[in-house]
Amino acid sequence: MNVAVVLFAAILAGACATRGSSGRAVPRPFPGAALPPGATERAPERAEGTAPPPGLPALISTALSVRGIPYRNGGSDPSGFDCSGFVQYVYAMFGTGLPREVHSQYRVGREIDRKEVKAGDLVFFETISRGASHVGLAIGADEFVHAPSSRGVVRVEKLTGSYWASRFVGARRVEEPNLRSSK
């Protein structure tokens, strides 16, 4: 089989979000690549029915409660998530609808400077295509939670980690009062 055809098929199959209403695939982060330096693959960090520590803002608590759930291309529920499906799911739990695809999520809310990022903000990265092709949710203390590649699970990583810092393309704040309050 022609190498170009195989390569093209692999790129189309590796999407961060499945084909949405636009019909365009959104690339998943670093398909088939090793974990970023300093990152570790985590087994599920919660037993069924347990929750993150109390006192966290509800949005962050919800995002952290699904750590360990496997990546699933096109996934947007607890059976598996891709990056944009994960943030869409978390925001939807608080009555805020987000578009399904990364490039559309990158236009939601207002743009904020890297130094202004706080818990609940969307953080975007350029992974396998130009512009925003991966999204995560800032949780504070220089960390974000996201659903990485097909071999990953929902996990927490550092925004200043060398892999992510070099690929950061922007952040957006979705202004909704119910997103930042505690339950």
pTM of the model: 0.71
Name the catalytic one among 103, 146, 172, 173: 146
Element (H, E) at 140: strand 134-140
* Mean local confidence (pLDDT), 105-132: 95
Residue among 33, 182, 174, 16 at smallest CA distance from 107: 174
Q: Using CA atoms, how far apart are residues 123 and 161, in angstroms rounded to an integer? A: 14
Q: pLDDT band at residue 58, thresholds of 50, 70 and 90? A: very high
85-113 pLDDT, tens digit each: 999 999 999 999 999 999 999 999 999 99
Residue 16 annotated in active site: no
Q: Determine how many CB atoms are found less than 10 A away from the CB of residue 129.
A: 15
- pLDDT over 50 (residue 42): no
Please say if the pLDDT value at position 21 is more than 60.
no
Fold of 3-36+51-180: endopeptidase fold (from Nostoc punctiforme) (3.90.1720)
Domain ranges of the chain: 3-36+51-180
| CA gap 124, 164 in Å, rounded | 9
Asked if residue 126 has pLDDT above 90, the reply is: yes
52, two tokens: 């993150």
Catalytic site includes residue 83 = yes
Query: Catalytic: which of 26, 60, 64, 83?
Result: 83
54: confidence class by pLDDT, cuts 50, 70, 90: low
| Six-digit token string for 19 | 């084909």
Q: Answer whether residue 178 shows pLDDT above 60.
A: no
Percent of the chain scoring above 90 in pLDDT: 61
**pLDDT given for residue 44 in this prediction:** 35
Neighbouring-strand partners of residue 136: 123
Residue 32 has pLDDT above 60, yes or no: no
Residues in contact with 87: Cβ distance below 8 Å, sequence separation at least 6, in sequence order: 98, 105, 122, 135, 136, 137
**Which residue is catalytic, options 134, 155, 167, 172?**
134
